[in-house]
């Protein structure tokens, strides 16, 4: 399509959400009463009348058939970290041998997938295979690959959550309830719901498929297990925001188009810091929809890349030595009467409310820092968090100069109004106008206030954002419930609000840090302040089953003790399995690719050495000899480390059934042995003839597209 056509047909408006059964489509196609009833369910969380469901299902089916769809699926998010779907066609036979399209309200609302093969952490033994999926009408249905996809929550027959969406929805509910209590106590009569909103910035790598296909590590584990440092990395800082290469631009254009059709608000795209690294950011939406859309974004990036002979890597650390990928999870709370609760206001009253919500988040982050850290932990993220890379494993909050100053003043008695010099009584005097776009003034902070939202920067690039947001929503709900308890009892709400804000400033200021989070001084300073520094996933996972977390999650009905324990088991098992796959892949590459290649190369060297020696008796330490000695030495060490890794992998047999002990063993023994093997492998890469090396190098892969 050329530019003129694009403008003439208003291409954007035409394709946007063309494959989504969204509000506009429902309004246009559903009978008025049905639409109203469904809207009530969506907006107010009321139960759905089965008769309404029948009408909606039928309308949805007609719409989908018109769009060429042949199947439908309940689309859900099991604990695999990705999405799952099982397609059923709409066909229903008639007596005269034809078919008609059929889709009932029952089929829309509830599915019964055989759930035995999804991770359940012991919640559902295989003999109790039944699980069910339940329609989540707060996220619109859409068509993908000729299939009507219905977003659903996935539970066991006894009602336990088997997925990521269920606790996320429960946490949104909890936060809404507690935030409303605070708003009511502060005199708000208009809001009836508070939603959490999220805009996740997705980082990813794009590489050539031909090179990818030659790397078993990329294929099997998503990251390179070998690879010497290339002569050029990211040190020239020439990739960030650099102009888009044509191949990348055309890939991105197609990604945008596909996402827009699915109603994903794809907004910003650019080159990232590392070579071959890029980012895609959407406009924010409710956390639930943002989570679904982020799944679709990850899927679309992968799918479209293949069409262009490219591969998209979502792993947190595909390449050593250059930046890894994360997801900046921009998060806020907004009431349905139109206010962003983290937006500084214009009136004194609005500002008191703003400070109350802001300090509640700060307090939650301080009191549950370990949980937030755990919510961002996964095997891949261990290479970023706590590994001298952005961001560090220590949770702290960046507030920006002005707010930090207000905090500081509140800490030392009353805050001064910076303009008049008089006492700043919260709720009486206005705050100085805060710059809305304090964009990335501190890029090192794991949890930064950016004007009207918080940016949680630890989140893993390949993981669902449901986990971190469930954690965040729940801890803020808990703090808000404590705030509401006090405000509801108090006679002077303004004074009480002020007291609460001051208390947070006194008690929780230790979590605030506006300096360089990557510095060694901060690590020391944080330890002095008593902030947790959880360096690995294995260390982080047990946080999910601490008494404090169980109590909070049960209080707000987000996850029960049993559900939390099942997740704990899943996370640990997952870690152990992933490291095991990485170790086995390393062994495969070592024994069948690297060893044979180097053996052959040293053989060639030896042969040429003999030839040289016979030609010239004087050449005692020829270049060949030097190279042969060095290569043979590294090769011997490499071979020993192959043996060591084999032994380490086998050693798991002796560890027993305890999943925490198993995960610890993988981290302490297997991962460390892998690092030694890699060091030798990477050294060999720098010694061996380029033509004899069996793997595409970092330089080949990172600078090829
Ligand atoms: P920056 O991070 O550079 O300040 P933006 O302000 O454009 O950039 O926002 C980055 C992301 O934050 C975008 O996805 C944007 O939609 C999202 N965002 C903006 N406002 C909110 C909000 N109130 N709640 C959640 N996300 C938001
Ligand atoms: Mg940002």
For residue range 234-287, list pLDDT tens digits in order: 877 778 888 888 999 999 999 999 999 999 999 999 988 899 999 999 999 999
Report residue 199: phi and psi, to 5°. -125, 105
The per-residue pLDDT for 702 is 95
CATH for 575-702 is 1.20.120.1560
Task: Return the residue whose CA atom lies nearest to atom 7 of ligand 1.
Answer: 283
Say yes or no to pLDDT of 659 above 80.
yes
Alpha helix (H) residue ranges in 347-492: 348-367, 369-375, 401-411, 466-489
Task: Return the residue whose CA atom lies nearest to atom 8 of ligand 1.
Answer: 439
What's the number of CA atoms in the CB half-sphere (13 Å) around residue 286?
Answer: 20
- Average pLDDT, integer, range 173-180: 97
- How far apart are alpha carbons 278 and 351 in whole angstroms? 38
- How far apart are alpha carbons 58 and 272 in whole angstroms? 45
| Atom of ligand 1 lying closest to residue 440 CA | 3
The per-residue pLDDT for 403 is 83
Distance (angstroms) between ligand 1 centre and the Cα of 282 equals 8
- 269 near 256, Cβ under 8 Å? yes
Question: Which has more confidence, 50 or 45?
Answer: 50
- How far apart are alpha carbons 208 and 276 in whole angstroms? 10
Q: Where would I find the beta strands (DSSP E) of 252-291? A: 266-271, 277-282, 285-286
- How far apart are alpha carbons 266 and 255 in whole angstroms? 9
The per-residue pLDDT for 426 is 52
The per-residue pLDDT for 619 is 53
The per-residue pLDDT for 613 is 76
Alpha helix (H) residue ranges in 590-704: 595-615, 623-650, 659-665, 671-687, 698-702
Q: Around Cβ 421, how many Cβ atoms within 10 Å?
A: 8
The per-residue pLDDT for 279 is 97
What number of residues does the chain have?
A: 705
| Atom of ligand 1 lying closest to residue 331 CA | 25
To the nearest whole number, what is the mean pLDDT of the chain? 91
The per-residue pLDDT for 232 is 83
For 294-337, how does the pLDDT look when each residue is reduced to its tens digit (9 = 90+)? 999 999 999 999 999 999 999 999 999 999 999 999 999 999 99
- How far apart are alpha carbons 110 and 609 in whole angstroms? 74
Q: Indicate whether residue 402 lines ligand 1 (CB < 6 A).
A: no
Q: Where are the domains of the chain?
A: 13-162, 171-559, 575-702
- How far apart are alpha carbons 2 and 137 in whole angstroms? 38
Q: Indicate whether residue 327 lines ligand 1 (CB < 6 A).
A: no
Nearest in space to 412 (alpha carbons), one of 423, 397, 401, 400: 423
Say yes or no to pLDDT of 423 above 90.
no
Say yes or no to pLDDT of 590 above 70.
yes
- 682 near 676, Cβ under 8 Å? no
For 504-559, how does the pLDDT look when each residue is reduced to its tens digit (9 = 90+)? 999 999 999 988 888 889 999 999 999 999 999 999 999 999 999 999 999 999 99
Q: Minimum mean pLDDT among 329-343, 375-389, 427-441: which range?
A: 427-441
Q: Angle at CA 650, nearest 5°, toward 644 and 655?
A: 115
Return the ligand number nearest the Cα of 284.
1
The per-residue pLDDT for 618 is 61
Distance (angstroms) between ligand 2 centre and the Cα of 391 equals 13
Alpha helix (H) residue ranges in 268-325: 287-307
Distance (angstroms) between ligand 1 centre and the Cα of 439 equals 10
Fold (topology level) of 171-559: Creatine Kinase; Chain A, domain 2 (3.30.590)
Distance (angstroms) between ligand 2 centre and the Cα of 258 equals 23
Q: Indicate whether residue 281 lines ligand 1 (CB < 6 A).
A: yes
Q: Indicate whether residue 450 lines ligand 1 (CB < 6 A).
A: yes
Distance (angstroms) between ligand 2 centre and the Cα of 657 equals 43
Distance (angstroms) between ligand 2 centre and the Cα of 455 equals 7
Best residue among 448, 453, 456, 476 to mutate for probing ligand 1, ranked by most atoms within 8 Å of CB: 453
Q: Indicate whether residue 330 lines ligand 1 (CB < 6 A).
A: yes
- How far apart are alpha carbons 300 and 282 in whole angstroms? 14
Task: Return the residue whose CA atom lies nearest to atom 5 of ligand 1.
Answer: 439
Best residue among 270, 284, 289 to mutate for probing ligand 1, ranked by most atoms within 8 Å of CB: 284
Report residue 254: phi and psi, to 5°. -70, -35
For 63-118, how does the pLDDT look when each residue is reduced to its tens digit (9 = 90+)? 999 999 999 999 999 998 889 999 999 999 999 999 999 999 999 999 988 777 78
Distance (angstroms) between ligand 1 centre and the Cα of 342 equals 12
Say yes or no to pLDDT of 181 above 80.
yes
- How far apart are alpha carbons 70 and 54 in whole angstroms? 19
Name the pLDDT band for 427 (thresholds 50, 70, 90): very low
pTM of the model: 0.94
The per-residue pLDDT for 623 is 84
Say yes or no to pLDDT of 462 above 70.
yes
Q: Indicate whether residue 284 lines ligand 1 (CB < 6 A).
A: yes
Q: Indicate whether residue 145 lines ligand 1 (CB < 6 A).
A: no
Name the pLDDT band for 388 (thresholds 50, 70, 90): low
Which residues have CB under 8 Å from 478's CB, separation 6+?
178, 364, 368, 552, 555, 556
Task: Return the residue whose CA atom lies nearest to atom 11 of ligand 1.
Answer: 199
Token pair 């027993």: residue: 656
Say yes or no to pLDDT of 408 above 90.
no
Distance (angstroms) between ligand 1 centre and the Cα of 167 equals 24
For 663-692, how does the pLDDT look when each residue is reduced to its tens digit (9 = 90+)? 999 999 999 999 999 999 999 999 999 999
Report residue 202: phi and psi, to 5°. -100, 120
Q: Indicate whether residue 452 lines ligand 1 (CB < 6 A).
A: yes
Q: Minimum mean pLDDT among 58-72, 78-92, 419-433, 567-581: which range?
A: 419-433
Return the ligand number nearest the Cα of 457.
2
- How far apart are alpha carbons 704 and 171 in whole angstroms? 44
CATH for 13-162 is 3.10.20.70
Question: Which has more confidence, 395 or 242?
Answer: 395
The per-residue pLDDT for 122 is 76
Please give the share of the chain, as a percent, with pLDDT higher than 90: 75
The per-residue pLDDT for 439 is 46
| Atom of ligand 1 lying closest to residue 342 CA | 23
Q: Indicate whether residue 522 lines ligand 1 (CB < 6 A).
A: no
> How do 194-208 and 327-335 pair as beta strands?
antiparallel
- The environment of the single-atom ion ligand 2, i.e. residues with CB closer than 5 A, is 328
Question: Which has more confidence, 119 or 648?
Answer: 648
Residues 605, 607, 608, 612, Cα dihedral to 10°:
130
- 3-class SS letters over 473-491: HHHHHHHHHHHHHHHHHCC
- Average pLDDT, integer, range 479-502: 95
């Amino acid at each position: 399509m050329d530019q003129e056509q694009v403008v003439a047909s208003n291409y954007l408006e035409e394709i946007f959400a063309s494959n989504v059964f969204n509000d506009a489509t429902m309004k246009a196609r559903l009978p008025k009463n049905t639409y109203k009833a469904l809207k009530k369910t969506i907006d107010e969380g009321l139960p759905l009348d089965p008769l309404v469901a029948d009408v909606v299902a039928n309308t949805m089916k007609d719409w989908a058939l018109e769009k060429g769809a042949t199947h439908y699926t309940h689309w859900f998010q099991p604990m695999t970290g990705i999405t799952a779907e099982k397609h059923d066609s709409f066909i229903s036979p008639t007596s005269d041998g034809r078919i008609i399209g059929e889709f009932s309200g029952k089929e829309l609302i509830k599915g019964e997938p055989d759930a035995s093969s999804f991770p359940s952490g012991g919640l559902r033994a295989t003999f109790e295979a039944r699980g069910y999926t339940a329609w989540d009408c707060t996220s619109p249905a859409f068509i993908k690959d000729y299939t009507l996809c219905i977003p659903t929550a996935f539970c066991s027959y006894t009602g336990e959550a088997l997925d990521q969406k269920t606790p996320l929805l429960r946490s949104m509910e909890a936060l809404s309830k507690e935030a409303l209590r605070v708003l009511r106590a502060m005199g708000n009569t208009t809001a009836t719901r508070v939603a959490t909103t999220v805009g996740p910035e997705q980082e990813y790598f794009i590489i050539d498929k031909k090179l990818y296909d030659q790397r078993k590590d990329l294929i099997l584990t998503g990251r390179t297990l070998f690879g010497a440092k290339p002569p050029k990395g990211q040190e020239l800082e020439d990739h960030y925001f650099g102009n888009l290469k044509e191949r990348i631009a055309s890939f991105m254009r197609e990604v945008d188009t596909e996402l827009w059709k699915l109603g994903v608000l794809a907004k910003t795209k650019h080159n990232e810091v590392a070579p071959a690294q890029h980012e895609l950011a959407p406009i924010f939406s409710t956390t639930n929809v943002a989570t679904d859309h982020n799944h679709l974004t990850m899927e679309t990036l992968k799918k479209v890349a293949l069409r262009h002979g490219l591969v998209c890597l979502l792993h947190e650390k595909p390449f050593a030595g250059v930046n890894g990928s994360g997801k900046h999870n921009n998060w806020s709370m907004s009431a349905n009467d139109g206010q962003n609760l983290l937006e500084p206001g214009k009136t004194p009253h609005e500002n008191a409310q703003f400070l109350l919500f802001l300090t509640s988040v700060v307090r939650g982050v301080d009191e549950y820092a370990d949980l937030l850290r755990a919510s961002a932990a996964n095997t891949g993220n261990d290479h970023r968090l706590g590994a001298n890379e952005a961001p560090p494993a220590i949770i702290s909050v960046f507030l920006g100069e002005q707010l930090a100053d207000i905090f500081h003043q509140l800490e030392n008695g009353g805050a001064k109004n910076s303009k008049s010099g008089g006492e700043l009584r919260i709720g009486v005097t206005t705050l100085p106008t805060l710059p809305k776009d304090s964009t990335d003034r501190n890029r090192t902070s794991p949890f930064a206030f950016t004007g009207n939202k918080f940016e949680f920067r630890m989140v893993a690039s390949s993981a669902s954002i449901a986990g971190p947001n469930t954690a965040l929503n729940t801890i803020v709900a808990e703090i808000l419930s404590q705030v509401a308890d006090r405000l509801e009892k108090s006679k002077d709400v303004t004074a009480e609000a002020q007291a609460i804000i001051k208390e947070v400033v006194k008690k929780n200021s230790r979590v605030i840090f506006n300096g360089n989070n990557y510095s060694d001084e901060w690590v020391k300073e944080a330890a002095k302040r008593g902030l947790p520094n959880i360096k690995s996933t294995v260390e982080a996972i047990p946080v999910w089953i601490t008494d404090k977390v169980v109590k909070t999650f049960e209080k707000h009905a987000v996850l029960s003790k049993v559900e939390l324990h099942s997740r704990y088991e899943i996370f640990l098992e997952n870690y152990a399995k992933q490291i095991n796959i990485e170790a086995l892949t390393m062994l495969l590459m070592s024994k069948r690719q690297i060893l044979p290649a180097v053996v052959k190369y040293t053989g060639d060297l030896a042969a040429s050495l003999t030839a040289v020696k016979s030609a010239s008796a004087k050449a005692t330490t020829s270049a060949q000899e030097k190279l042969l000695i060095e290569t043979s030495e590294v090769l011997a060490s490499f071979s020993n480390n192959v043996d060591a890794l084999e032994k380490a992998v086998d050693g798991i047999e002796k560890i027993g059934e305890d999943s925490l002990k198993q995960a610890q063993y993988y981290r302490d023994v297997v991962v460390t042995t892998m690092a030694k093997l890699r060091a030798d492998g990477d050294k060999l890469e720098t010694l061996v003839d380029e033509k004899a090396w069996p793997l595409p190098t970092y330089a080949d892969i990172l600078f090829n597209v």
